[in-house]
């Protein structure tokens, strides 16, 4: 059942509007590069973007394109195309959508602005192993070579042993060589070191941005935050990313000083866990009628937002990137994730956690219960969990989603009154 009640989220910051423009410009650049005969890469997941930026590579990111398609409510169509290709509904909707875009015989004009066939593919199994599988199909379909980056899962917590770093760093080296062999020129190590140092800066800025967001009332909710996370996820290792974050930080600091919040009278602060409905970000604004703000969402932390960058050493670029990827909160063993969310709930003064289950995701739903229990034990903060596919609009049911939010928030308010 599709509902026609979807609305875009209401953003309130100037810098996030700028970031949106940067996203458009980025993909516009990919199209131009293709026309100029430069190789186009498809990649995905936690493949360190720094190595791409250091090679001046033009990359389409498999989880990002569906987001853009999804925000225009177009994902349903392409997902359908993939299903007709034999991909069951259990397969991640992002990957179904992307595969649909890849194999569709016709693409609508919006998608056509961004979509470019690959010359080769860089695949990985981090965060979720299924995804490396979807690449095989794409590589077959386009008959292009691919390189596979195998990420060890993090069974160690924060202390990653040297042999694991060495293994992962070795594969990054392999990726660089592979890119060289496929038309991207020789590896410029100075540039890579520069990228790592910019990446470090970027994360430090993000950490400061987070500090601002902990203020009551919060100057930026997750509707803006998800756009704001774009540089963190896609632009680490670039000056552009750093510049955007510097501006954002400035804007937020001003707001905090003036005591301006998304809502001036915040009654409840919420954390979103799982994939938000990209086709209907207005749902996150829906809770405002209760004086509630979704302050933060877990996916804003993917790709390094949740870790202490002091360990990054530009002189050891590959090892630094390896560490960053291996300790990521979504490198599936839950210890880092659970600990991190625990802290987030405290630092951000969260009153309740909204956990949404995207049934076609092999990764995130598995964290729900451990996170719920840890947060409750630690801070007495409750979590509600319900089904919501953030990308496949066909699965969306507005009434049920709102009923879940209403019930949860009323219960929260009732317990606050006690």
Q: Which of 150-172 are b and which e, b meaning 16 or more Cβ less than 10 Å from the residue's Cβ?
A: ebbebeeeeebeeebbeebbebb
Structure tokens at 110: 């919006």
Dist. CA 220–CA 208, nearest whole Å: 13
Task: Measure the CA–CA gap between 405 and 418, rounded to whole angstroms.
Answer: 20
Residue 305 or 317: the one with the smaller Cβ distance to ligand SF4 is 305
CB of 217 to another protein, least distance (A): 25
Nearer to ligand SF4, 93 or 228 (CB): 93
Nearer to ligand SF4, 218 or 297 (CB): 297
Decide: is 384 part of the binding site for another protein (CB under 8 A): yes
Q: Can you tell me which of 232, 334, 352, 353 binds another protein, judged by CB under 8 A?
A: 334
Cβ-contact 40, 311 below 8 angstroms: no
380 binds another protein (CB under 8 A): no
291/362 with CB nearer ligand SF4: 362
148/288 with CB nearer another protein? 148
Q: Which of 211, 216, 209 has its CA nearest to residue 231? A: 209
In the bound state with ligand SF4, the residue whose beta carbon lies nearer, of 245 and 367, is: 367
> Is there binding between residue 272 and another protein (CB under 8 A)?
no
- Alpha carbon separation from 401 to 62, 79, 145, 397 (Å, rounded): 27, 21, 42, 6
Secondary structure of residue 122 in the 3-state scheme: strand
Considering only residues 119 to 138 of the shown chain, the ones binding ligand SF4 according to CB under 6 A are: 127-128, 130-131
The alpha carbon of 268 is separated from its chain's Cα centroid by a whole number of angstroms, namely 25
Could you tell me if 13 and 221 are in contact, meaning their C-beta atoms sit under 8 angstroms apart?
A: no
> How many other β-carbons are positioned within 10 Å of the β-carbon of residue 212?
19
Q: Which residues bind another protein (CB under 8 A)?
A: 1, 85-88, 90-92, 125, 128-130, 132-134, 136-137, 140, 148, 150, 152-153, 155, 161, 163-164, 166-167, 170-171, 332-334, 357, 359-363, 365-370, 373, 382, 384-387, 397, 399-400, 403-404, 406-408, 410-411, 414-415, 418
Q: Which residues bind ligand SF4 (CB under 6 A)?
A: 63, 92, 94, 127-128, 130-131, 275, 358, 361-364
């Amino acid at each position: 059942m599709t509902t026609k009640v979807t609305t875009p989220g209401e953003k309130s910051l100037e810098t996030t509007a700028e970031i949106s423009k940067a996203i458009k410009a980025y993909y516009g650049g990919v199209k131009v590069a293709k026309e100029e005969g430069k190789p186009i890469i498809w990649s995905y997941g936690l493949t360190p973007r720094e190595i791409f930026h250091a090679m001046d590579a033009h990359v389409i990111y498999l989880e990002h394109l569906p987001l853009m398609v999804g925000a225009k409510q177009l994902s349903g169509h392409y997902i359908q195309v993939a299903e007709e290709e034999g991909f069951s509904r259990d397969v991640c909707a992002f990957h179904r959508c992307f595969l649909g875009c890849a194999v569709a015989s016709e693409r609508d004009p919006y998608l056509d602005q961004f979509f470019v066939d690959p010359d080769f593919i860089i695949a990985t199994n981090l965060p979720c192993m299924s995804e490396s599988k979807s690449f095989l199909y794409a590589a077959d379909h386009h008959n292009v070579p691919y390189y596979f980056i195998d990420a060890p899962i993090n069974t160690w917590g924060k202390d990653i042993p040297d042999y694991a770093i060495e293994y992962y760093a070795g594969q990054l080296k392999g990726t660089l060589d592979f890119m060289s062999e496929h038309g991207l020129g020789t590896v410029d190590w100075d540039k890579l070191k520069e990228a790592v140092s910019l990446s470090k800066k970027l994360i430090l800025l993000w950490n400061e941005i987070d500090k601002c967001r902990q203020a009551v009332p919060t100057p930026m909710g997750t509707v803006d935050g998800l756009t704001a996370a774009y540089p963190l996820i896609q632009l680490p290792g670039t000056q552009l990313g750093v510049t955007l974050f510097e501006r954002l930080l400035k804007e937020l600091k001003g707001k905090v000083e003036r005591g301006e919040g998304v809502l001036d009278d915040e009654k409840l602060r919420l954390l979103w866990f799982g994939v938000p409905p990209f086709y209907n970000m207005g749902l996150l604004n829906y809770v405002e009628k209760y004086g509630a703000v979704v302050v933060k969402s877990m996916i804003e932390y993917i790709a390094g937002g949740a870790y202490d960058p002091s360990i990054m050493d530009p002189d050891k670029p590959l090892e630094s990137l390896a560490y960053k990827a291996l300790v990521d909160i979504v490198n599936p063993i839950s210890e880092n994730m659970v600990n991190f969310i625990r802290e987030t709930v405290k630092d951000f003064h969260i009153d309740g956690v909204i956990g949404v289950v995207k049934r076609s995701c092999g990764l995130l739903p598995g964290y729900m219960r451990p996170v719920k229990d840890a947060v409750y034990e630690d801070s007495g903060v409750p979590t509600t969990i319900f089904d919501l596919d953030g990308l496949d609009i066909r699965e969306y049911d507005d009434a049920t989603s709102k009923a879940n939010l209403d019930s949860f928030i009323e219960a929260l308010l009732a317990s606050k009154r006690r």
